[in-house]
Chains A and B, each alone.
Chain A
Amino acid sequence: MSADQDGANLLEVRGLTKIFGTLTACDHVDLNIAKGEIHALLGENGAGKSTLVKMLFGSLEPNSGEIFWNGQAVRITSPGTAKKLGIGMVFQHFSLFEALTAAENIALSLDDGSPISTIAAKARALSYSYGLPLDPLSLVGDLSVGERQRIEIIRCLLQTPQLIILDEPTSVLTPQEADKLFETLERLRSEGKSILYISHRLEEVKRICDRATVLRHGKVVGHCNPRQETASSLARMMVGNEVQAVVRAPAEGIETAPVLLQIRELTRKPATPFSIPLRNINLEVRAGEVIGIAGVAGNGQGEFFESVSGEVLQEDTGSVRIRGKDAGGLAITGRRLMGAAFVPEERLGHGAAPRMRLSENLLLSRHATDGKMFVGAGGMVKSDAIYTAAQRIIKAMDVRKSAPDPEAAALSGGNLQKFIVGRELDRRPSVLVVNQPTWGVDAGAAAHIRQALIELARSGSAVLVISQDLDELFEISDAITVMHNGELSKPLPIAEATFEKIGLLMGGAEPGHAEHTLETA
């Protein structure tokens, strides 16, 4: 099935299997990577991509299967072995010390004892030759996410690898930064290096990859040439069936609808030296509309969510107003009692307590708002009532689970997210604030959640969605605004918004904020 290759395979994987408990994360996976190709590894979240890659990089050991490097059978027992063979990896989550300079971070991973100044000089030369300009003496804490990724890439290139593994590299980049990265990857390919490119973004895979291997539920379901496929045929391979499109009826009469959530001049000092301050944020969400907040991760979205939800209080009580009343001085319970509901980004440990049952997790966010229904006289919990309500949500959101009332940690990420969103929708809140509603959720469940958010808005609630997934925001929002460096741009009505405009704003290019535009360089 594989495309024609000149010369031998650089890497060949046969029957690689990894089992965690009862879950077979990778099931007899075969993969060939030729010299000088960009090979895509496609699959939904949870399909086994990360597990496969971790075995190739030596951070996990396979239960069975073989790996051949340049035709020789090898065992990759540690990342050190992988590096020696010539395999380099750029992780999705960076492993950088924010309080150190770029060069110091690079030196830590090289551990060959060469002085920092030599490393800095090498890194600078390499970065410019690949069109990834980087000042090795700058503190990581001061750098944008795109620049931090450059450090990871340079660090990887300094070890002159033959195969470079990139895990979801564009998920933290603006469209313009991603273009820059693609140029670098093409340059590396022309030098004969191989690249394993992990993504679930089909358009970019079609654009830069020569071949693709598609994983579903831990198994290889196909090899193909992505250039000859359409985005929807690739999606079908990944998901296994057609994904229902989200229907968004046009919002009508929004201009005259009441403002249910209002943010006025919201300002927050950074809580730690490396967190983002919020600067004079203004936003209005009216009954019936979905407003999307786009932005590269780490531009203040988490800080903003905490401030709006009331996990952090505001000095100026009027800076957050819910249904026309000041809420800035109220904690999260008070804001819930005013009709607001919240879904945080982290599911386990923030939105849900991992070791507690779903029915108990229902109580987590609703013990006060539904106090009469769930808590009886003297503070006794009505366990029958919360069980019944949890089952109602499980049914409404089609939560798949193995036991009637399992612990939250026993559910897959997507199913837990459906429960957490369903828990709040079940209240029919008049204001809903969601951070990353479908992060790590499979396509079918994501469509379900998005549709539910639109329907909540159309039934007269104000919905605010923070997301790094632009496709998602274009699908569900009536207007999109961009958070960059703790500031929020003016909302663009969806009819006027384009990927390019939003992308520029994500890079900090809003007129009047020139001081921040330097960062994307």
Chain B
Amino acid sequence: MRLELVKRPQRSMLFSALSPFIAFVLTIIAGAIMFALLGVNPLTAFRIYFIEPISQVWQLHELAIKAAPLILIAVGLSVCYKANIWNIGAEGQFILGGIVGSIFPVLFPQFEGPLVLPLMLLFGMVGGAAYAAIPALLKTRFNTNEILTSLMLVYVAQLFLDWLVRGPWRDPQGHGFPQTIQFNDSAILPELLPESGRANWGFVFALVAAMLIWILMSRMLKGFEVRVLGSSPRAGRFAGFGLNRMVFFTFLLSGALAGLAGISEISGAIGQLQPVISPGYGFTAIIVAFLGRLNPLGIVAAGLVLALTYLGGEAVQSALGISDKVARVFQGMLLFFVLGCDTLIHYRIRLTGFSAPKLEAAPKLEGAR
């Protein structure tokens, strides 16, 4: 006996729309089993994991802080994935954006004024884009697999940051701690509503980026180019769209957005460079992109959901003493179920190897050719 995937003649529109919700429900069920096995009442655990972290206004601010980088990175990645180009290294581009964007406050702390922040954001985007250009160049010049190169460059970026904050960029007055100096005030991304919580302008950047990418993909010739090259490359070549140019366009765009997310996180939520500046935003954003169906507006919703898994992970750790690795488990299950649901929308499962099914009378179909 073996399993076969048979392509369905028609995709169900209803289930395409429902798929993320079904995946979410399946994740909850699997999560309940996991909590039960850990010896925790699943209902209590879910209340602590999903409800309590967003029951107060300041907590919603924390949600926005976590969601902002996820959404920024994921909308960029969605353009890549629509073009069938696989940038897996947003985590590295995020880190490089943070590093390059921090050049001014770390190396020129006496430079202050209203120009500092825009320059930092610009440098962050350039840093992320430049780092993303490496796998693009390798792919277009040497036909290397961008999945491998972009992923491997993540580890390079992480170690480079680690070396910087322990070496040349270490705060001389920091008692030997591996971190840079605290940024001056003009290098700090302002908070949106300081009286109610910490959320900063990064969340606004994320919403604006999602809006712009949505217009790009649904209304503009460039978005059409992305979709054609992604779905039928030969038709794209016939249309005169260059695949190599597209590789650079998508990598630079997603790299710039990841870089912007990186510098926004540094100058907004953290305020200095540390050896580790991301709890895996660049990887979680891949889940966000798929959970949001590669649609920028869906990604905003998905980004909030995944941000909640981070907060919930911290909450169950403090309240129940369960490792916050549980957040990773939830994220992994969510991606697994989303991809599973999507596959089953396009294919159905057939068991073969049994005695073949009996022939039955064909249904009459009116109007069929």
Contacts and interface: CB of A to CB of B under 8 A. Distances in A.
Interface of A: 17, 19-24, 61-65, 75, 77, 217-218, 309, 311, 331-333, 336, 342, 344, 346, 348-356, 360, 363-365, 367-368, 375, 378-381, 383
Contact of B235 (A75, A77, A333, A352): A352
Contacts of A355: 231-232
Contact of B227 (A342, A348, A356): A356
Interface stretch (B190-198, B254-262, B359-367): B359-367
* B contact residues, range: 20 to 34
A63 B368 contact: no
Give 9 closest A-B pairs by Cβ, nearest first. A333-B240, A21-B9, A63-B362, A17-B362, A353-B232, A353-B235, A64-B362, A364-B239, A24-B368
Contacts of A218: 369
A349 B236 CA distance: 9
Nearest to B361: A64
B335 to A, nearest CB: 24
Contacts of A19: 362-363, 365, 368
Contacts of A24: 362, 365, 368-369
Nearest to A374: B221
Interface string B13-37: 0000000000000000000000000
B67 interface: no
Nearest to A367: B221
Contact of B221 (A77, A217, A351, A381): A381
A17 B365 CA distance: 12
Given A17-B362, A61-B359, 6 more contacts: A22-B365, A342-B238, A344-B238, A348-B232, A364-B238, A379-B222
Contacts of A65: 359
Contacts of A360: 224
Contacts of B369: 23-24, 217-218
Nearest to B237: A311
Nearest to A343: B238
Given A311-B238, A333-B240, A380-B219, A64 B360 contact: yes
B239 A23 contact: no
Nearest to B240: A333
Given A77-B356, A353-B228, A364-B228, A23 B368 contact: yes
Nearest to B233: A349
B356 A75 contact: yes
B220 interface: yes
A355 B361 CA distance: 33
Contacts of A351: 235, 238
B55 interface: no
Q: By CB atoms of chain A within 10 A, which of B232, B240, B359, B368 has the most? A: B240
B356 A61 contact: yes
Contacts of B362: 17, 19, 24, 63-64
Contacts of A349: 232, 234-235
A365 B9 contact: no
Contacts of B224: 360, 363, 367, 381
Contact of B239 (A20, A21, A61, A365): A365
B336 to A, nearest CB: 25
B143 interface: no
B173 interface: no
9 contacts: A19-B368, A21-B9, A63-B359, A65-B359, A356-B227, A356-B231, A365-B239, A375-B221, A380-B220
A353 B360 contact: no
Contact of A332 (B232, B240, B365, B367): B240
B231 A379 contact: no
Contacts of B221: 363, 367, 375, 379-381
A23 B235 CA distance: 27
A381 B359 contact: no
A363 B368 CA distance: 31
A381 B220 contact: yes
Contacts of B110: none
B56 interface: no
A21 B12 CA distance: 13
Interface in B107-130: none
Interface string B327-369: 0000000000000000000000000000010011111010111
A360 to B, nearest CB: 7
A346 B234 contact: yes
A364 B9 contact: no
Nearest to A78: B356
B43 to A, nearest CB: 43
A356 B228 CA distance: 8
Which of B9, B237, B361 has the most chain A CB atoms inside 10 A of its CB? B237
Contacts of B368: 19, 22-24
Given A349-B232, A365-B239, A64 B359 contact: yes
A378 B215 CA distance: 11
B82 to A, nearest CB: 12
Given A21-B9, A379-B220, A350 B234 contact: yes
Contacts of A22: 365, 367-368
A375 B224 CA distance: 11
A17 B224 CA distance: 41
Contacts of B359: 61-65
Interface string B71-112: 000000000000000000000000000000000000000000
Interface in B247-274: none
Residue among B231, B238, B242, B367 with max Cβ neighbours from chain A (10 Å): B238
A356 B229 CA distance: 12
A138 B235 CA distance: 36
A354 B237 contact: no
Nearest to B225: A367
A63 B222 contact: no
Nearest to A346: B234
A218 B360 CA distance: 19
Nearest to B10: A21
Nearest to A337: B240
A23 B368 CA distance: 5
Nearest to B359: A64
